[in-house]
Amino acid sequence: MAGKAIVAKKIGMTQVWNEENRVIPVTVLEVSPCRIVQIKTPENDGYSAVQVTQGEVAEKNLNQPQIGHFDKAGVTAGRRLVELRIDDTNGYEIGQEISVDIFSEGDVVDVSSVSKGKGFAGVMKRHGFAGQRASHGAHKVHRKPGAIGQCATPSRVFQGKKMPGRMGAQKTTIMNLKVVKADPESEILLIKGSVPGPKGATVIVRNAVKIPMSLSGDSQ
């Protein structure tokens, strides 16, 4: 489990140059300060987490349970509530702000978000199947999956068989991405490579929990 985490908004992708004048593709994340609304502990809730909110929203746009929840914490109501699972909640207080400065250049992080929805897709696009022959007697089966099971035994299709269906629009985590820059003044976080989700998506950034040896002491 992560030791620190924050909520961000995906702005898009661009590129920067490092000291060796090499181009680095980066994802730009906008990280507004996160206010802690609730702290969950193993003694009371069975796990450790902090519930945070960002931005501000008018009270007329909230329902009564939401208004009561923010009033109880004494925190200004925000646009959304996001729960961040962390190892230890010691040192965190209700009302405390978490900003982008918890990360620094060179940190290795895991980034989670809901991936782009692709709609209904076939096996070649969804699972990377090679497809069938394009000639020599193949008739309208060029992109079909082929056989999906056996005959009399076991007379069924095994659960988990890769078949056409809905693609994307599910929670996805990209592990071991490097922080290229963390700018508290502009509230911007630059992550090397791409992260899941469309522009404007809510993204959760955590410190990596499975750092490979190749990244533990490496630079960008």
3-state secondary structure 76-132: CCCCCEEEEECCCCCCCCCCCEECHHHCCCCCEEEEEEECCEEEEECHHHHHCCCCC
Where do the structural domains in the chain lie, given as residue ranges?
5-119+172-216, 125-168
Over range 77-87, report the average pLDDT.
Answer: 92
As given in the structure block, the two tokens for residue 161 are: 């068989």
Tell me, what's the pLDDT at 154? 86
What is the percent of the chain where pLDDT is above 90?
A: 80
Provide the mean pLDDT of the chain.
Answer: 92
Q: What are the tens digits of pLDDT across the range 53-74?
A: 998 999 899 999 999 999 999 9
Tell me, what's the pLDDT at 82? 94
Tell me, what's the pLDDT at 2? 75
- Checking phi first, is residue 141 left (phi over 0); if not, alpha (psi -120 to 50) or beta? alpha
Q: What are the tens digits of pLDDT across the range 142-184?
A: 999 999 988 888 889 999 999 999 999 999 999 999 999 999 9
CATH ID of 5-119+172-216, from 1.10.3720.10, 3.30.1490.20, 2.60.120.10, 2.40.30.10 = 2.40.30.10
Q: What are the tens digits of pLDDT across the range 101-143?
A: 999 999 999 999 999 999 999 999 999 999 999 888 889 999 9
As given in the structure block, the two tokens for residue 42 are: 């193993």
Residue 102 phi, psi dihedral angles, 5° rounding: -70, -20
What type of residue is 74?
Answer: G
Tell me, what's the pLDDT at 163? 96
- Say if residue 220's pLDDT is above 50: no
The per-residue b/e assignment along 38-74, b for 16 or more CB within 10 angstroms, e otherwise, is bbbeeeeeeebbbbbbbeebeeeeeeeeeeebbeebe
Tell me, what's the pLDDT at 69? 93
Tell me, what's the pLDDT at 153? 85
Q: How confident is the model at residue 218 (pLDDT cuts 50, 70, 90)?
A: low
What is the percent of the chain where pLDDT is above 70?
A: 97
Among 94, 103, 93, which residue's Cα sits nearest to residue 4?
A: 103
Judge whether 215 and 19 are in contact, CB under 8 Å: no
Of the two residues 44 and 220, the one the predictor is more confident about is 44
What are the helix and strand counts (H, E) for the chain?
A: 4, 12
